[in-house]
Copies of this chain bind each other. A is one copy, B any other.
């Protein structure tokens, strides 16, 4: 459709004036002619209505399912008012708040995100976001190495394969070695003895997750933190922040660095992105200096009024270039604002309630699944949060097929007979009963 561009590109009638003002007609003359294009590329321009029809036709090829897949992507309900807040034009159409005097809204909102997350993880310093949990792990490994000047990073064998792949990418070229430590086959708990033996003078950091990728908590996290710290390494803990409504925070047991995923606190899952990587540290000037990501701090203006600014920017790439603590520039600010609005809405009581609800509902699910003939759940003797492993006589593929046929999507496969199921606040009792019904029916047939 001729003219569609005019909706986004003005000055159609003023182009001539502008060209003659600058005194030249070919403003691309500096591009060597051999590279210049002489034909237009791309499809036929579409009007707004045509565009919408085009996209909606493709969307029809998706099918909505009740999914029990998690793996860091937790499909929580997002209250309407949180969506309305992040749809505010002044928020979503702004850039990184480089000019603080005119950007107090975003800065205060990010400061509040940092503050709310600090309360949850129990550490006072949280950056204003990283891309996701996985890249936060990569950054944590790099930071541990920078801080300790050591080059080994220990992770649990039970780590999510996604996170493991990202971690490897992040450390691959800077000479950090990844070492893994196993877990007890009954309790799933990280093998603290093996860990004690593994740490050495090369250990930059020890990472563990709680809840783990398999869904249960480490019951003695302070021991793991201590092993790391005793070896002169930093302890890095990966969490689902929602679990901190029930269980001790990493701050409670002295973790140095906390990472995790917070997208599910106020953001839809969006097919896996954007996410919201948490990165928190102890109040330690040395760690602070080495920390990746943006920080918003409180200060005062020339009239003495409180105000907010991006601070400690000297760590960042736009100032320190190749010696920066990270290359991160664009982060996930708006997701952090959503998270702040969501957490303030839940409040102290609501956060604890929701944390417990997830835990209770997950228990309802694994108890009922575990009671089905031919199924075992959960698989370790430990306290679980939202995810749990299900072992079945039938293969995961057979189970998945049966679930797909009624519009459900089962757990994330671990091996041929094991999958990790996930419960969020969107699952109803009926959903889980239906899941169990399919599982039960599977064995009968």
A residues bordering B, Cβ < 8 Å?
48-49, 77, 79-80, 84, 87-89, 425-426
Contact = CB atoms under 8 A, between A and B. Distances in A.
A423 to B, nearest CB: 14
Contact of A49 (B48, B77, B84, B89): B77
A347 to B, nearest CB: 10
Contacts of A48: 77, 79-80
A49 B80 contact: no
9 contacts: A48-B77, A48-B79, A48-B80, A49-B77, A49-B426, A84-B87, A84-B89, A87-B87, A88-B89
Contacts of A426: 49
B87 A49 contact: no
Contacts of A425: 49
A77 B47 CA distance: 12
Nearest to A353: B3
Question: 5 closest A-B pairs (Cβ-Cβ)?
Answer: A49-B77, A48-B79, A48-B80, A49-B425, A87-B87
A341 to B, nearest CB: 13
A89 B89 CA distance: 11
A48 B49 CA distance: 32
A90 to B, nearest CB: 10
Contacts of A49: 77, 425-426
A84 B426 CA distance: 28
A337 to B, nearest CB: 15
Given A49-B77, A49-B425, 6 more contacts: A48-B79, A48-B80, A49-B426, A84-B87, A84-B89, A87-B87
Nearest to A428: B53
A80 B51 CA distance: 12
A247 to B, nearest CB: 24
Contacts of A87: 84, 87
A76 to B, nearest CB: 10
Nearest to A88: B89
A264 to B, nearest CB: 15
Query: Which of A49, A80, A84 neighbours the largest number of chain B CB atoms within 10 Å of its CB?
Result: A49
